[in-house]
Amino acid sequence: MIRVENLSKRYGKMTAVHSLNFDVRKGTVFGFVGENGAGKTTTLSILSTLMLPTSGRAYINGMEVTTEPGLVRRQIGFLPDEFGVYDDLSVREYLAFYGTAYGVEPALIDKRAAELLHLVNLEDRSEVLVNSLSRGMKQRLGLARSLMHDPPVLILDEPASGLDPRSRIEMREIIKGLREQGKTVLISSHILPELADMCDEIGIIQRGTLVACASVEVVNARVSGKRHFLLEVMSEGHRLAELLSRKSKVTEILKVDENKVEFIFAGSEADQVELIHELAMGGFQLKTFQELGGSLEELFLRLTAEEDAKAELIPKMA
């Protein structure tokens, strides 16, 4: 449904997107993860016909975004990362405007607007002026707006930014609902866990390059239960590392020096208590036993960097 081939975008000398390749199958949700400045918005803007790529091609439903932008626009509902609303329009009028702009049958507009307002939980606000809505409400209204013409493809740039935890969960449920309706969704975020729950596939973009791309099951299997720990001791760091590496629940030792060891631990909390106990019995003087936040992406990336994993995870990038 969405196909990206060798897509690159340069701003002057800066390469924002570098030879991107990925595919989003019909009816699936593709999560596009990357930190700030990774190139998510740039990619999504190209797909939404707002920007021309420097090179490469992108297709929406078989139509090329640069040569047939008019057709592509009817296929997509686009929610930009930051957007505003017009003054002096009510929520209902706002939706009606975009509906008519897309040529939706006048008879259908009110009905669809009402349905969508129900979907995004704003049905009691239909007569309120749009610029009086809160940021989170505007975000939800924006999603409703992008659905007014019932497009088969949705391109959502960080739809959860600025939402409170409850609204984030609601947004996730809405997107799952859209997948059930058979929509193809491309959604970006800088937080992997947020996407893991609603996506079929995840692509991680770093400095303009897609560094990993895998189905969400693989991501979950790779990442689940694995945590990143830091142990600080008075001395004997190397002996400690050696002991840890013999434990079956310790999957990887990341850093070792005289006073500290960082490692990946795949055990439960009970296993963790037991490990601490064992170490204490082994005569180590533990200063700290700390779980490092370490982003899930980082963990995931490191795991995918393992040679065997690579073959399994990135077959379609070839």
Residues that bind ligand ATP in the complex, under the rule CB under 6 A = 11, 14, 16, 34, 36-42, 81, 190
Instruction: State which amino acid sits at residue 251.
Output: T
8 binds other proteins (CB under 8 A): no
- CA 94 to CA 12: how far, in whole Å? 37
Name the residue nearer to ligand ATP (CB basis): 66 or 206.
206
Work out what residue 234 binds among Mg ion, ligand ATP, other proteins, none; the CB cut-off runs from 5 to 8 Å by kind. Answer: none
* SS3 (DSSP) at 69: helix
> Measured from the CB of residue 131, what is the shortest distance to other proteins in angstroms?
9
> Measured from the CB of residue 44, what is the shortest distance to other proteins in angstroms?
11
Quick check: 293 and 230 in contact, CB under 8 A? no
Q: Which of residues 91-120 bind other proteins (CB under 8 A)?
A: 93, 97-98, 100-103, 106-107
- Please name the helix (run of DSSP H) or strand (run of DSSP E) that holds residue 67, with its range, or none: none
Q: Which of residues 229-268 bind other proteins (CB under 8 A)?
A: none
Alpha carbon dihedral 191, 27, 207, 226, in 10-degree steps, equals: 40
48 binds Mg ion (CB under 5 A): no
Residue 210, classified by CB atoms within 10 Å of its CB into exposed (0-12), middle (13-18) or buried (19+), is buried
162 binds other proteins (CB under 8 A): no
Please list, in sequence order, all residues whose beta carbon lies within 8 angstroms of the beta carbon of residue 184, skipping any fewer than 6 positions away. 1, 2, 24, 25, 26, 27, 28, 29, 30, 152, 153, 154
Work out what residue 127 binds among ligand ATP, other proteins, Mg ion, none; the CB cut-off runs from 5 to 8 Å by kind. Answer: none
Alpha carbon dihedral 78, 79, 81, 86, in 10-degree steps, equals: 120
* Residue at shortest CB range from ligand ATP: 41
From 41, 75, 139, 189, residue interacting with Mg ion (rule: CB under 5 A):
41
Q: Which of residues 21-60 bind other proteins (CB under 8 A)?
A: 45, 48-52
Work out what residue 103 binds among ligand ATP, other proteins, Mg ion, none; the CB cut-off runs from 5 to 8 Å by kind. Answer: other proteins
Q: Which residues of this protein are in contact with Mg ion, per CB under 5 A?
A: 40-41, 81
